[in-house]
A and B are shown apart, each in its own frame.
Chain A
């Protein structure tokens, strides 16, 4: 059974169909990509999966369970994590606090916080230690106490990934993780994403505009245009698909 399955999903905004009759599966353990020109509906597809928008029609299933229209925090609790096209860090909080917030998200503040029994204190220390470890694995340990918006751009993107990983997800959705990066940074990111699957046992879906970045990394690519799926398959097949080339008219698709 695929980890993520969209069947006949349509999203309408007033008269506009942002996504149209989308059928899409992502297999467990895959590294897949969702590409397409601007306005194709890629981020909208992510938003449909993560619960930001309920589908107007169709069903979204995660790990066998229907999640279409469920509130985002519940979907996150089921194991779906994401990063955003325009970085959405908790800017006034430190890098460490950003990650701790994700680790502690399931627990609502209450009496335990007020009473602070020794068991509680031990758990707090464990949380902070785990957060530091996560930051370390993404090369961010020296920024732990820094304000999130003080980090350099590339590090901010990595921090968003660290925070997403803190929720122990099964599925990680990365929305334009390489945006604004120079080629060297993109190579580093590509290596990082490749490692994430093995290190964390993840299924990963990427959105990106940089077709070359995606080609080297993903096993299966789905192409959207005007809210519809126009091609799908292995990178080489998709690259030479005439419909894809036409959709990207003007963009130089590397040979």
Chain B
């Protein structure tokens, strides 16, 4: 299908050009911030989708792993990053140096978050259903409180991404951010939609049957949990570097609930659904600004209404698949 990949690549290239060079000059910074927040929300939602939608393990402590990623990456940048950037800037032009440096705190944040995921996952994944959800909620809060008590990353004052030397480690390059978003979504989609990846859904559908066909259910659950925590950490790291300042208040159970809402509203088991829901719900409160004080009330009423009218979420467990639309359109044309 050469034509199809060609078209897809072209679209991606266009999107990158837009994000990197056109929008930053065309839109005012407020909207750019929203676009960044949407990117973070997408990665957070899709990573949660892997463990909750695909593997059926309901985790409502996701923000805790975002916090680990945010703070770990921020600490790396603040304490070591300035030095590394300086070394890089000696050999390549400054913007390129920043772009080359950027993956490092992201990977560090993701790795530490994955580690936290392993620590949390191993004891809690023995639990079923509601108990697992509650345990993850608890761990999310514990992580937050622990970070709050670490002075080296600001504690109750919050943590700014400025090195002691005064260098600002902030990085909100839209093109880079969305490249990360795309890579994250692609990795998760490839893991989930493969024959080996059927193991995730087998665990969701029926653990006992899954074991009976040789799926090591606990290991699969832990894997899903660790991968999802990794990308939550990446989302947190992107957030930290784009905002330039973080506080544990942004990573409480309210945030965990928000992300879970993205996943359920988009449809449990649908990656495109999670992307759509994350985008719409992150943009919504901003778009609802016209309602003034009633903004959040309208938002919550809307949430309730949507869930009652469509409990399986926007896309249910299916994906938005342009290839399928194309095939159906062709069929209809042929029949006509």
Contact = CB atoms under 8 A, between A and B. Distances in A.
A159 B220 CA distance: 24
Contact of B212 (A81, A97, A110, A116): A81
A90 B199 contact: no
Contacts of B49: none
A45 interface: no
Contact of A88 (B190, B198, B209, B223): B209
Contacts of B205: 89-93
A104 B220 CA distance: 13
A164 B201 contact: no
Given A81-B212, A92-B205, A167-B213, A101 B191 contact: no
Interface residues of B, number: 31
A101 B212 CA distance: 11
B196 A108 contact: yes
B213 A166 contact: yes
Nearest to A124: B195
A88 B206 contact: yes
A122 interface: no
Most chain B C-beta atoms within 10 Å of own C-beta, residue among A50, A77, A109, A113:
A109
Interface in A17-35: none
B80 interface: no
A103 B213 CA distance: 9
A147 B113 CA distance: 36
A140 B106 CA distance: 48
Nearest to A105: B214
Most chain A C-beta atoms within 10 Å of own C-beta, residue among B194, B195, B199, B217:
B195
A242 B209 CA distance: 38
A163 B190 CA distance: 24
Contacts of B187: 114
A106 interface: yes
Contacts of B210: 73, 90, 101, 105
Contacts of B201: 90, 92-93, 97, 101
A143 interface: no
A239 to B, nearest CB: 31
A73 B195 contact: no
Contacts of A90: 201-202, 205-206, 209-210
Given A101-B198, A109-B197, A113-B196, A73 B217 contact: yes
Contacts, number: 114
A109 B219 contact: no
Given A88-B208, A88-B209, A124 B194 contact: yes
Contacts of A127: 195
A99 B215 CA distance: 13
A109 B196 CA distance: 5
Contacts of B317: 92
Nearest to A120: B194
Contacts of A166: 213
Nearest to B201: A93
A84 interface: yes
Nearest to A148: B205
A129 to B, nearest CB: 12
A102 B206 contact: no
A49 B210 CA distance: 16
A77 B210 CA distance: 12
B200 interface: yes
Contacts of A142: none
A109 B191 contact: yes
A135 to B, nearest CB: 15
B200 A73 contact: no
Contacts of A230: none
B208 A104 contact: no
Given A100-B195, A113-B190, A167-B214, 13 more contacts: A81-B212, A84-B209, A88-B206, A88-B208, A90-B202, A101-B210, A102-B213, A105-B202, A108-B196, A108-B219, A109-B191, A124-B194, A164-B212
20 contacts: A50-B212, A51-B211, A71-B211, A84-B212, A90-B202, A90-B209, A92-B201, A93-B201, A93-B205, A97-B201, A102-B213, A105-B210, A105-B214, A108-B199, A108-B223, A109-B191, A109-B194, A109-B223, A116-B190, A167-B214
